[in-house]
A and B are shown apart, each in its own frame.
Chain A
């Protein structure tokens, strides 16, 4: 599946993390360091599997348990973002 930041979102990377504005809800969000990293990966890579894989490799230190935890947390974060309309998920183009 392909992930894409919603066209209705304006975002900016700052020293403190990423700030978002959702033009439809009028809500502002601030992402912490970890969430900001996931967000930039969505912007750069756009593929759920690639994002999860990169973060897992980067932070699990080879531990399967940590890797499982990372996968779970990233999926949960992406699910929340999709639910709030900040990120959209579409079938990948073949």
Chain B
């Protein structure tokens, strides 16, 4: 009977365990933390109180792995928002118009998502919580299990023909592999220096439903830090507000500073909404935002070993791809196991396939976060003109917006209509929307703003 052992019980590990359970005789999952009893943040998951979204490609993958998951999440309060149809997005050039691109995001508390997924994924899996992976057993040719620290504090070796490292961003697997004689794993880290702070709010009466997601992107200014904000509605009429800032412009962690930072952004919309909402708890920082790629697939790995999820490709969370890449990686694992079976010798090939699944997100993240190459050829006047027109036309062109948001949502590109794009780039651009006009595109928020102003309170817009 083939035993599979999954190290790490976050989203990637839980999904990998569910996939392995269809092929291996026995699946064990070890997790150093203890799972909360309900849809609550987990102590051992430092980012669990911050914003978590699944983009369309990730939501589809999750539903393919565990059918019905998305419907259950929606039934329990997760919020689906079209991009940019159900979102107020302030890009560098201005506000997006409401456009239906087919791209969406699903937003909910991480605790809710994890609980729903665990309930669907883990039947058939033996879960050992309070059990921490310490290393691998085996040699450079074959991994035969893992050494773990048990809940009681002792250590033991769990033998397994298949060992999957899903211990996440801080995975120690490269060191564990070296310790059994395997070659070094190449690692690349790219950091934008971005930091963020998050606070939860209770939505004001009248805005618990129909509230668009809000994204205020920084306006690039050479030599100055980029600062922005997002507001994602989640279950139970709550909002998760995240403020972001690059090096030198990090958002504060104290409540007064958090409010002042939002107020100083290029548009006060998020600050106005925060002022009307009720804070739930304090401000929580997150700083470990570097993009980190471990190229396990380039090393001659021992049979029976596989790394998955953030252990392979940890992305700056601000790009909102982490959970989606985990789901897509698990879906690819399912396809590879269906092809090869639970064969330890096939795992190096499976590793390549799983790593390839993260490639798109890795490239998208680096395109934004990698320092500009000073040696790169300067753009010509024509190129600068086209790029400026493109940024402006993106706000209102259905074709350009579909290409952009579908890529962000990890969906296949739309059918090409180059002529329409050329017309959008060469024609007179649509006028830029004022904040009032952008808000007016969203009836619930617009009505609430109007009511709020009529009631004699502090005007929500200015």
A21 to B383: give the CA distance in the assembly, Å: 8
A6 to B418: give the CA distance in the assembly, Å: 9
Q: Name the prevailing secondary structure of the A interface residues.
A: strand
User: Interface segment, A7-15, A47-55, A62-70, A76-84?
Assistant: A7-15
How many residues in A have their beta carbons less than 8 Å from beta carbons of B? 15
Q: Shortest CB–CB separation between residue A46 and chain B, in angstroms?
A: 17
Q: Are A10 and B386 in contact (CB under 8 A)?
A: yes
Interface string of B361-400 (1 = CB under 8 A from A): 0000000000000000000111101100000000000000
Q: Does A22 contact B (CB under 8 A)?
A: yes
User: Which residues on the A side are within 8 Å of B386 (C-beta)?
Assistant: 10, 21, 28
A28 to B425: give the CA distance in the assembly, Å: 14
Q: Does A57 contact B (CB under 8 A)?
A: no
Q: Are B382 and A8 in contact (CB under 8 A)?
A: no
Q: Does A36 contact B (CB under 8 A)?
A: no
User: Which residues on the B side are within 8 Å of A10 (C-beta)?
Assistant: 386, 422, 425-426
Q: Are A23 and B382 in contact (CB under 8 A)?
A: no
Interface string of B405-439 (1 = CB under 8 A from A): 00000000000101101100110000000000000
Interface size bracket, B side: 10 to 19
Q: Are B380 and A9 in contact (CB under 8 A)?
A: no
Q: Does A19 contact B (CB under 8 A)?
A: yes
A30 to B386: give the CA distance in the assembly, Å: 14
Chain B residue, CB-CB nearest to A19: B382
A10 to B382: give the CA distance in the assembly, Å: 10
Q: Are A23 and B421 in contact (CB under 8 A)?
A: yes
Q: Shortest CB–CB separation between residue A37 and chain B, in angstroms?
A: 18
Q: Are A19 and B422 in contact (CB under 8 A)?
A: no
Q: Name A14's contact: one of B382, B416, B418, B425 (CB within 8 Å).
A: B382
A24 to B422: give the CA distance in the assembly, Å: 9
A28 to B381: give the CA distance in the assembly, Å: 12
Q: Are B418 and A28 in contact (CB under 8 A)?
A: no
User: Which residues on the A side are within 8 Å of B385 (C-beta)?
Assistant: 12
A8 to B381: give the CA distance in the assembly, Å: 20
Chain A residue, CB-CB nearest to B389: A10
User: Which residues on the A side are within 8 Å of B426 (C-beta)?
Assistant: 10
By a beta-carbon cutoff of 8 Å, the part of chain A in contact with chain B is 6-10, 12, 14, 19, 21-24, 28, 30, 85
A–B pairs, 26, beta carbons within 8 Å: A7-B418, A7-B419, A7-B422, A8-B416, A8-B418, A8-B419, A8-B422, A9-B422, A10-B422, A10-B426, A12-B385, A14-B381, A14-B382, A19-B380, A19-B382, A19-B383, A21-B382, A21-B383, A21-B386, A21-B425, A22-B418, A23-B421, A23-B422, A24-B416, A28-B382, A28-B386
